[in-house]
Amino acid sequence: MTDAQILILMSTLSTGLILGAIFALVAAGVTIVYGCVWLPNASNGQFFLLASLAAWTFTASFGWTSLAAAAGVLILGTALSYLLEWILIRRLYDTPNRNVAYFVVTLGLTQIMTGIFSLTYAKWSDQFTLPPVIEGITMFGPFPMPNNRLLVMGVSLLVLVLLFVLLRYHPYGRALRAVFQNREAAALRGVNVRAIYRLSFVLGSVIIFLGGILFALAYSYDLTVAWTMSITAFAIMIIGGPGSVIGAVVVGMTFGFTQAIVSIFASPTAATFSYLGAMLLILLFRPSGLFKR
């Protein structure tokens, strides 16, 4: 292989890994909430963007470091998720067919947030960039990799692993999975179903916020990323199987690499088209998705 080929390969590989890990994170957040609460969060892209924009405000306007901004956004995000659950989400816990109602409510949230962003951030700037957390470049052969992106990749993969461990071994995770499988039986065994709903909504939302921060650290972005992320996360959830975290990770990684490879030859919109097509096919022929939850 020539140096040029190695460069292309390495850049595809690194982009694929970072994008894939972030896609997997966001989709895992969406799928946990859907599997447990039956809430298909159509505004996940706006949540994602909100976190990145808030981090941008903290660094650009308040002069915080990126790390402090990330911490601030996560704390604020947690508070916001609890608030949202308290105001909106809990009102529909006992509604039959609540997934349609939730879908509509989150589409409404999407409109509200889109309106707010276009009144504010759209007027302030059209490209947003966060300063890197760490400086410097590591060379992989001829391929220069910014340490900052290495960090983002590491953190996203680490969070995915932690999420797995939490769901598999921690008592909270076990209760969460019990509610996934059968909420009546879980309630009979003494699981506080409403508390688990709240916990998983907050957990899922915070994971989406984290995905937004990580994405903002690795790449510069504009406001359209919300729309792309919404579609991508939904496609991943549907294809991977609603409620399946493994599905979200596997399909998310696949999508990340697809995007990285497609971007070499064609515009990223082609990748979005292919996600939509894949989602339609799965919806029509195998609505339960590729992976069991």
Partner 1 sequence: MKLASDRALWIFAAAALALPIIADGNKFLAFVLGMTYISLLWATGMNLMYGFVGLMPLMFAGVAGIAGYAVVHLTREFGWSFWLAMPVATVMAALAGVALGLPSLRLKGFYFTLCSLVIQTVLTLAFIFFPTYTNGDTGINQIAPPDWFGGQLKGLGLELMIALFTVVGILLCAWIVRSPLGQRFVAIREDDILAEAIGIRVVRCKIIAFFIVSLYAGVGGCFYSVYIGFVSPRAFDVLVSMNIWLFVAFGGRGTIAGPIIGTAILAPIPFLLQELQAFKDILSGVLIIVVTLLMPGGIYGAWLARRRRTQKAMTDSARVQESRV
In the window 260-279, what residues touch partner 1 (CB under 8 A)? 269, 272-273, 276-277, 279
Name residues whose C-beta falls within 8 Å of residue 154's C-beta, 6 or more positions apart in sequence. none
Binding segment for partner 1 among 99-107, 129-137, 142-150, 178-186 (CB under 8 A)? 99-107
Least distance between partner 1 and beta carbon 223 (Å): 12
Whole-Å CA distances, 108 to 43, 90, 115: 8, 16, 11
Q: Site for partner 1 (CB under 8 A): which residue of 92, 157, 166, 290?
A: 92
| Contact by Cβ (8 Å): 212, 50 | yes
Q: Is 75 in the site for partner 1 (CB under 8 A)?
A: no
Q: Is 10 in the site for partner 1 (CB under 8 A)?
A: no
Least distance between partner 1 and beta carbon 45 (Å): 12
Binding segment for partner 1 among 66-74, 156-164, 230-238, 255-263 (CB under 8 A)? 230-238
Q: What are phi and psi of 221, to 5 degrees?
A: -145, 165
- Residue 56 host element (H or E): helix 44-60
Instruction: Match 């096919």 to its residue by tokens.
Output: 281
Binding segment for partner 1 among 106-114, 177-185, 212-220, 252-260 (CB under 8 A)? 106-114
What is the size of the binding site for partner 1 (CB under 8 A)? 36
Q: Site for partner 1 (CB under 8 A): which residue of 108, 142, 144, 154?
A: 108
Nearer to partner 1, 59 or 110 (CB): 110
Nearer to partner 1, 107 or 264 (CB): 107
Q: Site for partner 1 (CB under 8 A): which residue of 109, 133, 166, 262?
A: 109
Tokens of residue 211, six digits: 């995905």
Q: Is 125 in the site for partner 1 (CB under 8 A)?
A: no
In the window 174-193, what residues touch partner 1 (CB under 8 A)? none
Nearer to partner 1, 115 or 131 (CB): 115
d(CA 200, CA 245): 13
The 10 Å CB-count burial string (b at 16+, else e) for 127-156 is ebebebbeeeeeeeeebebbebbbbbbebb
Interface pattern 33-62 for partner 1 (x via CB under 8 A): -------x----------------------
Rounded to the nearest 5 degrees, what angle is found at the Cα of 50, between the Cα atoms of 14 and 216?
A: 25
Q: Is 110 in the site for partner 1 (CB under 8 A)?
A: yes
Residue of 252, 246, 244, 260 lying closest to 278 (CA atoms):
252
Rounded to the nearest 5 degrees, what angle is found at the Cα of 252, between the Cα atoms of 249 and 44?
A: 100
| Contact by Cβ (8 Å): 145, 134 | no
Least distance between partner 1 and beta carbon 7 (Å): 30
* Binding residues for partner 1 (CB under 8 A): 40, 88, 91-92, 97, 99-101, 103-105, 107-116, 118-119, 231, 234, 238, 269, 272-273, 276-277, 279-280, 283-284, 287
